[in-house]
Amino acid sequence: MKHQNRDGLTILCLAAILAVGVALTHWASPWISGWSGSMASIAVAAAFCLITGMGGLAYLRALHAIVPLRPGRYEMEDFQCFLWKHHAVIRDVSERLLSPFFPVFLRGPFFMLLGAGMGQGATVAAHGIMADPLLTKMGDRAVVGEHACLTAHCVTDNRLIIDSIVIGPGATVGINAVVNPGVTVGEGAVIAAGAVVPPGTEIPAHELWGGVPAKRIKCLRRLAGAGQAADDIPVLGAGPADRLEAA
């Protein structure tokens, strides 16, 4: 991806966010030191990470409200390309600063803080990747496995593609799978381990997809009675553990 002169604005904004973090931490350090005693140095460092990380995310939320990232295909010189890079750099720094405060069982709230839409019980594994939280939505009880990647951007033919990703309720993205921009995964669908779902793919509800590029393998249906085809009966009652095992 080409570097442009206006990329310097990203460095200036990042420097300003860090400077504000340093100033606020310095202002609060006497109180922090008095409260933490012998652990003062660690407490001040933790405060800096928390204040600066939250400040970076607040800035990105405000920026997105004023100048939103818009789905589309953009030349590298387009303003939206610069805007995406701007978001990516500042979000990456903020995410690294905040990650120590969010262990595995708080991954859902963490991605909500980053701007993702997270349904009740939606789960992202410890090493699961959500590259563009502001453009990603996960439904209730959706699961993203270890080292799976949800990326709402990609570069092809020297153009940047930006599009939202929707993971439906109860759907599973298997280990090491890659979900590209513009993908919609239906309710209860499963993306097999290692699959790569091409941009713009719509996966219907209760289907298993796998391969590179990902294609339909079968319908996730069970035989419910005599004379009924397996493809006619939906899978019911599968919990997150069952879906992860299937992936």
> pLDDT of 148-164, one tens digit each?
999 999 998 889 999 99
Helical ranges in the chain per DSSP H: 7-36, 40-66, 79-98, 107-113, 240-246
Q: Which of 143, 150, 111 is nearest to 125 (CA)?
A: 143
Q: Which pLDDT tens digit goes with each residue over 22-58?
A: 999 999 998 988 887 788 899 999 999 999 999 999 9
Instruction: Check: CB of residue 92 under 8 Å from CB of residue 84.
Output: no
Mean pLDDT of the chain: 87
Helical ranges in 72-180 per DSSP H: 79-98, 107-113
Location of structure tokens 């919609």: 184
Which pairing describes strands 136-138 and 165-167: parallel, antiparallel, or unpaired?
Answer: parallel
Q: How many CA atoms lie within 13 A of 90 on its CB side?
A: 30
For residue 78, give the 3-state DSSP assignment. Answer: coil
pLDDT score at 230:
41
For residue 197, give the 3-state DSSP assignment. Answer: strand
Q: Percentage of residues in the chain with pLDDT exceeding 70?
A: 87
Q: Which pLDDT tens digit goes with each residue over 170-191?
A: 999 999 999 999 999 999 999 9
Please tell me the distance from the alpha carbon of residue 122 to that of residue 239, in angstroms, as a whole number: 12
Q: Percentage of residues in the chain with pLDDT exceeding 90?
A: 76
Query: Does this model's pTM top 0.85?
Result: no
Residues paired with residue 155 on neighbouring β-strands, in sequence order: 160
Q: Which pLDDT tens digit goes with each residue over 99-139?
A: 999 988 888 899 999 999 999 999 999 899 999 999 999 99
